[in-house]
Copies of this chain bind each other. A is one copy, B any other.
Amino acid sequence: MFRTPLRPLFALYNLPGVCIRPHALTYTTTAMSSTKKARTHPPYELLYWPQIPGRGEFIRLAFEAAGVSYKDVSNEQKDGVQEVVSLISASSTGTDSNPPIFAPPALRIPGEGKNGSALILYQTPSILSYLGPKLGLSGEDEAEGAWILSHALTALDLNNEAHDTHHPVAVAKYYEEQKDEALKKAADFRETRIPKFLGFFERVLKGNEKEGEGKYLVGGKLSYADTTVWHVLNGLQFAFPKELEARKKDYPLLFETFYPSVQEQSGLKEYLASDRRLLYSNGVFRHYPELDRQ
């Protein structure tokens, strides 16, 4: 689910005066916080690496789709990344009554922990599972909630496999040090794994067509499974544009109904058009033309 970030990014963090792009998304200042809905929620804080969508994006999309404000600490505070670095310290046994965390993303909720301290959670699917019912993104009943988590986990597996195409041998080494293996891994990913996953999500939509007409994976409203699958599809199109272009036609519900429908959802549409939506660079999804279909 999470891997050590890449050395170039790590090196960047250690530079003094690194420029973290500031933006207006804070839970105290965003326009969303003035809505009644937002005020009923605690001050959620996302702790993740700055400047890349990465695995933090799955959490951001859930908040944005729900219209619930949050603080993106590393992208909003000049020294925010230090909080992330401190949180994953290899000597930490946890803070307050929270356990240590293995890797970001983490979710911090001031006041929600024991004795009024902050509650801190980690692992993308666990954070989504915790937030789902609170943000109205986990379906209508227990079964829908379980399926939504299952589908999100499947999309996150695909996300991890996309990452492994450029880091098949060692996550802490450079892509250039494992390029031969990456070429083999990417070929298998394109030829066997992409169609397996996309075919599966197409069938999930087809099975749910009666209720959602291909718009939603589960039931008749948006869930964090939808936002999670959407982002992976978006990232795949960035990383493997030729491969996806060639395959899209085989999955009409996924690419002609589901994908455009999700990105037109209220909240998501505005977010995706804003500068809060970070650009892909050296994260999970990377565009190396040699790894794409030739």
Contacts and interface: CB of A to CB of B under 8 A. Distances in A.
Given A93-B207, A99-B208, A113-B143, A150 B168 contact: no
Interface in A98-142: 98-102, 112-114, 119, 121-123, 125-126, 129-130, 142
Nearest to A121: B146
Interface in A21-35: none
Contacts of A192: 170-172
A122 B225 CA distance: 14
A107 to B, nearest CB: 9
A126 B200 CA distance: 17
B168 A149 contact: no
A11 interface: no
Contacts of A290: none
A194 interface: no
Contacts of A121: 143, 146-147, 150
A84 to B, nearest CB: 16
A157 B161 CA distance: 12
A168 B185 contact: yes
A151 B102 CA distance: 9
A260 interface: no
Contact of A102 (B94, B154, B171, B188): B154
Contact of A153 (B1, B150, B193, B203): B1
Contacts of A102: 154, 197, 200
Contacts of A164: 164
A169 interface: yes
Given A1-B157, A121-B147, A208-B99, A184 B170 contact: yes
A133 to B, nearest CB: 10
Interface residues of A, number: 60
A198 B151 CA distance: 29
B125 A146 contact: no
A151 B203 contact: no
A92 interface: yes
Interface string A8-25: 000000000000000000
Interface of A: 1-2, 4, 90-94, 98-102, 112-114, 119, 121-123, 125-126, 129-130, 142-143, 146-147, 149-151, 153-154, 157, 160, 164, 168-173, 178, 181, 184-185, 188, 192-193, 196-197, 199-200, 203-204, 206-208, 217-218
16 contacts: A2-B157, A4-B196, A91-B203, A99-B150, A99-B204, A99-B207, A99-B218, A100-B207, A102-B197, A121-B143, A123-B150, A125-B125, A130-B142, A168-B169, A169-B184, A173-B188
